[in-house]
Structure 1
């Protein structure tokens, strides 16, 4: 059931809860493009794990109001306001793909509230020193971010036709990506349950506009608004070695800059492997809370 949380600046954020009511709270930050109803473990799995999984549409996606000019850091403010509305003091955060930078923002900017943070197939900052940011990245993503670097207006015009096609039929996004997927990811998206979740997710993400997608890409290519050195919570960086959308070098770079980080590489996984590893990551995210 979708809830609406109103922020201090008057915006509406659409929030979804799954799993065990009263369980250990974990925020799941969706990918790009994505939504609050993106792929997640079955409710029965979450209940068995004792997890209360909370997701929300970032501004401009799904049912959440847009916030023009938002940075990656803005996610921390939104998560804090949602947590306040739900009566949550402390919680863990996991970000998948485009949700990864936003999860790190929460850890850096909400140190008294974030217990643990996990990033699955995430990105490093665009200005990451010593990192070939586009190295190993699939051609479609290189093109997307290259256009995003030219500015919001031009990027929005460039993205609009593709977004309209996806809005008409979300399967168009999977079809467009298919040629660039490694075989392990092709098998993943061929799974009927995974495919159905992805299609529902993309449809909801772009139901009104592509604003959220535009603002995500611009935010990734701009200063993130926080310092990785400020992350104190235990941090797990998981990556599939065959990922071509968020190359594994990004997580390696982050692991070298976050002093609390543990880096885990899965040799036989790629980008969509993040969908299947999540049930294994959730118990790690709540370990400290249960010990306390």
Structure 2
């Protein structure tokens, strides 16, 4: 992990699959926006998938996770400004972005707010912008964290202090994915636990407040994927994103839950790489 200091003095961490590599500048670059919670490390099978396709893959740790300085009160849009500074520091111009779950809104922000840098976008199981209606909440197996976040950051931190993971959030295909190709993802989420409490709280508060940009500002090729059986971010969110972004390609996976939908990452990487290679 590389440490980068931003203009406001905060430190973020960057994982880079080609750090120090002689051919780094020759590889199309993709930025992975990690889930909530997460340490920010690029887990397998992401690293291998990128290497097999000749891609450079980056991950920027969001504030409050994995040793990155917290930023209380941050909006989803703030992540785009952090990414802009990281890309400047690394000498990278054009990228594609993708994000899973809580990383989805941040990938959307990058595409909306950095149109000169972001060539394409994909989200997997991403929340939609907050609207306090039954349709936004319905189908969540455990909405306690987000409900607390609507009250504020301190309420969300207080909730986290006693909250337990509810296994009912995952369906059978999710557990199969966590026992198989995506085992490292579950291990990383567990490792993020206590140290990532601030990051997770700030993510949730950002999700249920104004994101700081409009989805209509996203004008690059966009690929949206959602599992019909998702009990963490219900499929109504994927459909809402697709409705708000009519030019996006939307794929709904009838057998997938929140984790199982990551089986589409190889095809997502191929689509994003095709745009970058033009």
Counterpart contact for 1:39–1:201, Cα < 8 Å: no
Deviation of 1:279 (Å): 1.7
Match of 1:133 among 128, 131, 136: 136
1:185 matched to 2:186? The reply is: no
TM-score (norm 1): 0.88
Matches within 5 A, 1:150-165: 150-162=151-163
**Residue matched to 1:168:** none
Match of 1:35 among 35, 39, 52: 39
1:263 matched to 2:266? The reply is: no
**Residue matched to 2:75:** 71
Q: Alignment partner of 1:132: what SS?
A: helix
Q: How many residues are aligned here?
A: 273
Alpha-carbon distance in structure 1 between the residues aligned to 2:11 and 2:40: 13
CA RMSD after TM alignment: 1.9
Counterpart contact for 1:76–1:102, Cα < 8 Å: yes
Matches within 5 A, 1:18-29: 18=17, 21-22=24-25, 23-29=27-33
Deviation of 1:161 (Å): 3.3
Counterpart contact for 2:43–2:184, Cα < 8 Å: no
Matches within 5 A, 1:49-88: 49-88=53-92
Deviation of 1:21 (Å): 2.8
Counterpart contact for 2:253–2:261, Cα < 8 Å: no
Deviation of 1:177 (Å): 3.2
Alpha-carbon distance in structure 1 between the residues aligned to 2:90 and 2:247: 28
1:200 matched to 2:188? The reply is: yes
Counterpart contact for 1:242–1:269, Cα < 8 Å: yes
Q: 1:211 to 1:9 in 2, by over 3 A?
A: same
**Residue matched to 1:251:** 238
Q: Alignment partner of 2:136: what SS?
A: coil
Alpha-carbon distance in structure 2 between the residues aligned to 1:179 and 1:251: 20
Alpha-carbon distance in structure 2 between the residues aligned to 1:135 and 1:89: 40
Deviations for 1:101-127, whole angstroms, at most 9, x for unmatched residues?
A: 111001110111110000100001112
Structure 2 unmatched ranges of 5 or more? none
Q: 1:131 to 1:54 in 2, by over 3 A?
A: farther
Q: Alignment partner of 2:24: what SS?
A: coil
Alpha-carbon distance in structure 2 between the residues aligned to 1:177 and 1:45: 30
**Residue matched to 2:95:** 91
Q: 1:123 to 1:209 in 2, by over 3 A?
A: closer
Alpha-carbon distance in structure 2 between the residues aligned to 1:94 and 1:136: 24
Alpha-carbon distance in structure 2 between the residues aligned to 1:90 and 1:131: 39
**Residue matched to 2:262:** 275
Alpha-carbon distance in structure 1 between the residues aligned to 2:63 and 2:53: 29
Deviations for 1:169-219, whole angstroms, at most 9, x for unmatched residues?
A: xxxx7xx3323321111222233x53344213431x346351001100000
Q: 1:284 to 1:182 in 2, by over 3 A?
A: same
TM-score (norm 2): 0.92
Counterpart contact for 1:62–1:208, Cα < 8 Å: yes
**Residue matched to 1:239:** 226
**Residue matched to 2:106:** 102
Alpha-carbon distance in structure 2 between the residues aligned to 1:252 and 1:279: 22
